[in-house]
Amino acid sequence: MLAIKNLISPVTIPDQVARLYEEAFPAEERRMLPAQQMLLNNGALRLSLLEKEGMYAGFVFYWELTDFIFIEHFAISPEQRGSGIGSAVMQLLEKTYPKIVLEVEPPHSIDARRRIRFYEGLGFTVYKSSYLQPSYQAGGAPLPMLLMQKGMPPEEHTFTKISNEIYMEVYGC
């Protein structure tokens, strides 16, 4: 049985989440943990723990924005990968949040292409417009990424609205 446990602020990032967060995402694609903790405690950022049969299986960090959620970080523990839990989590999230947006790397590597295919298999589509993820580190360079969505219109004006809201609310720029 799969469970998504939404943690309520104030919350301390559990050790297993911190470890997986740092293992699953390169430094340029994540905040430092104290900054992540601060956003959680002020209620802007949300954290859901994923459990399968009572065992830790991963996490989702997300933002509830105007009319969609933005999944900033989503990771499944290595021992649970390939079991269908990622698809099940996304389908459960979609029942509560029918409009979902997330970032993925461009398809320049096998892993990036696999991630894109995973989300496309769940009905997500890539916005064709150019998108840069602002740097998480002061003075760092922005990263070329793709925005994927489900439940949102595919038009350019929707992309512009979504990306502007993400830049302002998530990245503070």
Digit-coded pLDDT (tens) for 5-28: 998 878 899 999 999 999 999 999
Torsion of CA 158, 160, 163, 168, to 10 degrees: -120
DSSP annotation of 65: -
DSSP annotation of 13: P
Segment (H or E) for 103: strand 100-104
Confidence (pLDDT) at 137: 87
Q: What is the largest CA-CA distance in the chain?
A: 44
Confidence (pLDDT) at 11: 85
Phi first, then psi: give them for residue 112, nearest 5 degrees.
-65, -45
Digit-coded pLDDT (tens) for 109-119: 999 999 999 99
Cis peptide before 10 (omega within 30 of 0): yes
- pLDDT band with cut points at 50, 70 and 90 for residue 2: confident
Digit-coded pLDDT (tens) for 147-170: 999 999 888 899 999 999 999 999
Confidence (pLDDT) at 82: 85
Confidence (pLDDT) at 74: 97
- pLDDT band with cut points at 50, 70 and 90 for residue 102: very high
Region 70-84: mean pLDDT is: 93
Residue ranges making up the domain that contains 59 = 2-169
> Structure pTM?
0.94
CATH code where residue 98 lies: 3.40.630.30
Digit-coded pLDDT (tens) for 34-76: 999 999 998 889 999 999 998 999 999 999 999 999 999 999 9
Task: Output b/e per residue, 101-123; b: 16+ Cβ within 10 A.
Answer: bbbbbeeeeeeeeebbeebeeee
Is the pLDDT at 122 greater than 80? The verdict is: yes
Task: For CA atoms 118, 119, 120, 126, give the dihedral sign.
Answer: negative
How many domains is the chain partitioned into structurally? 1
